[in-house]
Amino acid sequence: MPAMGNSLRAAALLAFVVLSILVSLLISSVQQFGGRIAHFPNATVAGDEFASLRGALIYQLNERRKEILPLLVPHEDEKELDKPLLDSNLDYSLWNEISQGSRKAHMDELGCDSLVDMQAVEVLGSGYTKLVVKVNLAGGQHVALKLVNEKGIDMGKCVEDFGDPTGCRELVSYKLKKEIVLLQRLQHPNVIRLKGHCAGDMGGKGGEGGRVAVILEQGTPLQMIQLLQSPWEDRFRVCLDLVRLLHFLSRSPLGSVGLLDFQPRQFVTVSGSLKLTDLDDASAEETFCHADSDCTLQFPHRNFTLPCSAKGVCEGLSEKRNIYNAYRYFFTYLLPHQAPPGLTHLVDQIMNSTGELKADINQTLEAFEHILHLYKSGLHLDNLPPSIIRDYTTMRGMGTSGNVEYRCWPSYSQQGCVLSVHSAEEAAYICNSHSQCNSFTLSGQKTWTGRLLASFRNSFSHLVPDEMSKVYVKKTKAPEI
């Protein structure tokens, strides 16, 4: 049977892949691996006890599977969910592709074959459940590979409880399978892109049952500390991306999706753009209620009660939970600090409306997009006299050399003072406010919003030709020309 041949091949490949990753990681002696020793079943456990443990594990496996099946229902049919789930409603082709090997239907997706001769570079991250490895594929692509974290808490606990490493690996890999389904259903610019997967499941038969590798777009784990030290523009971007994501999740193909485990470590950045990478705690389930008091959201410093609708579901519960988590984990740290003076009023309004859950996600997104519009167009700079630039001599097609730089904070460059500006006028305004500043250069480089990068300096020894850039020198300090 060719199908069986394929899955056997996938299983063999995956076993090889996992082995080569483990070997290469051991060689680079990665510390994340910790020192946990695997538990093995007590060989002398009585037969009955073993059977009951096995039964409990199979029960758990079925529970995990039941969690995934509703996600396979095409959304059009969700209205009929009050009917019993019919097998014909389920997207079994998707399920089979996930459990029996890589997806063949879409030629652009990577499968087990693409992992042959890959090179594991380093560990990008690990958590309770998963290990993420930076991998260079033989074809030259750089990807992130998500695997079961063999030394993770999930595996450790399971093996402790059931004493069956193979069964446990299968159980834990259901979280990866759930993530594959969610990544396929929830495609968005702010969700990590699924590039493919490789599964070596053979219906529980054989030693390698349940191994799964998810092939993802490579990102950089979100570094909150580093982000706190970056320019407001970059911090605003992370918050805006998050709000765009939450807007999508509130009316996603799966319904309103709540992120139950909402922490910065569930996100990565790809070229400065925020992307959700950990979806195994995403839930599209509604909360049923009899009264408003059934619809409470509890947080360490704040509780909220939401309305129970006539249909008996808590209205907007996932959406509101997401908004408040965005407020407490992201906005409070990233948004107010050093916001441009012309925008602080609007930023404060967002902080208040999200912190009090007064705005829904549509209104929140609108408020963010409005700030972006003002910031991009420079409309928030209403107090800049155009004449301010007349204090400066302009030299086009010139750059500077022998620079005496000074530092400012938060600068785009470690060595000097590089800030983003809307125009030469805004740069002149900033230069006037820095006592050390005598000149600035607009290099033509732009930030993600399209604002210009301006480099501010104390002085320079001479000018050099540079097509792209313009130098502005304070007239009082301008060299005689």
Task: Point out which residues bind ligand ATP (CB under 6 A).
Answer: 124-130, 132, 144, 149, 192, 216-219, 221, 261, 265-266, 268, 277-278, 280
- Tell me the number of residues near ligand NAG by CB under 6 A: 13
Q: Which of residues 356-375 bind ligand NAG (CB under 6 A)?
A: 356, 360, 362
- Ramachandran angles phi, psi of 36, nearest 5°: -75, 130
Minimum Å distance from CB 279 to ligand NAG? 22
DSSP single-letter state for residue 308 = B
Among candidates 275, 294, 16, 59, which has minimal Cα distance to 158?
59
Whether the ω angle into residue 410 lies within 30 degrees of 0, i.e. cis, is yes
- The interface mask with ligand NAG, positions 278-317, x = CB under 6 A, is --------------------x--xxx--------------
- Ramachandran angles phi, psi of 275, nearest 5°: -135, 135
How many residues can be counted in the chain?
Answer: 481
Residue 206, amino acid: G
**124 vs 357, which CB is nearer to ligand ATP?**
124
Contact range with ligand NAG by CB under 6 A, out of 82-90, 92-100, 305-313, 354-362: 354-362
Contact range with ligand NAG by CB under 6 A, out of 42-50, 63-71, 203-211, 402-410: 42-50
Residue 268, amino acid: V
Query: CB 12: neighbour CB atoms within 10 A?
Result: 14
Minimum Å distance from CB 151 to ligand NAG? 20
Q: Is residue 352 a contact point for ligand NAG (CB under 6 A)?
A: yes
Minimum Å distance from CB 302 to ligand NAG? 6
Among candidates 329, 422, 410, 348, which has minimal Cα distance to 380?
422
Q: Is residue 433 a contact point for ligand NAG (CB under 6 A)?
A: no
Minimum Å distance from CB 261 to ligand ATP? 6
Could you tell me if 439 and 428 are in contact, meaning their C-beta atoms sit under 8 angstroms apart?
Answer: no
Pick the catalytic residue from 91, 154, 161, 261: 261
55 vs 51: CA distance, rounded Å: 6
Q: Quick one: tokens of 186?
A: 């929830």
Q: Is residue 253 a contact point for ligand NAG (CB under 6 A)?
A: no
Q: Is residue 88 a contact point for ligand NAG (CB under 6 A)?
A: no
242 vs 255: CA distance, rounded Å: 18
Q: Which residues contact 199 (CB under 8 A, 6 or more apart)?
A: 10, 14, 98, 99, 100, 101, 102, 112, 177, 211, 212, 213
Ranked by CB distance to ligand ATP, the top (closest) residue is: 127
173 vs 154: CA distance, rounded Å: 10
- Ramachandran angles phi, psi of 307, nearest 5°: -75, 145
∠ Cα 246 147 37 (to 5°): 125
Minimum Å distance from CB 363 to ligand ATP? 30
Q: Which does 301 bind (CB under 5 to 8 A by kind): ligand ATP, ligand NAG, none?
A: ligand NAG
User: Helices 47-68 and 165-185 meet at what angle, rounded to 10?
Assistant: 0
**152 vs 163, which CB is nearer to ligand ATP?**
152
**70 vs 355, which CB is nearer to ligand NAG?**
355
**18 vs 357, which CB is nearer to ligand ATP?**
18
**302 vs 373, which CB is nearer to ligand NAG?**
302
**362 vs 401, which CB is nearer to ligand NAG?**
362
Q: Which residues share a beta bridge with 131?
A: 126, 147
**9 vs 193, which CB is nearer to ligand ATP?**
193
Q: Is residue 345 a contact point for ligand NAG (CB under 6 A)?
A: no
Contact range with ligand NAG by CB under 6 A, out of 75-83, 177-185, 352-360, 385-393: 352-360
Could you tell me if 457 and 439 are in contact, meaning their C-beta atoms sit under 8 angstroms apart?
Answer: yes
Strand, coil or helix: 221: strand
164 carries an active-site annotation: no
Q: Which does 280 bind (CB under 5 to 8 A by kind): ligand NAG, ligand ATP, none?
A: ligand ATP
**Which parts of this chain interact with ligand NAG (CB under 6 A)?**
42, 44-45, 298, 301-303, 351-352, 355-356, 360, 362
**Residues annotated as part of the active site:** 261
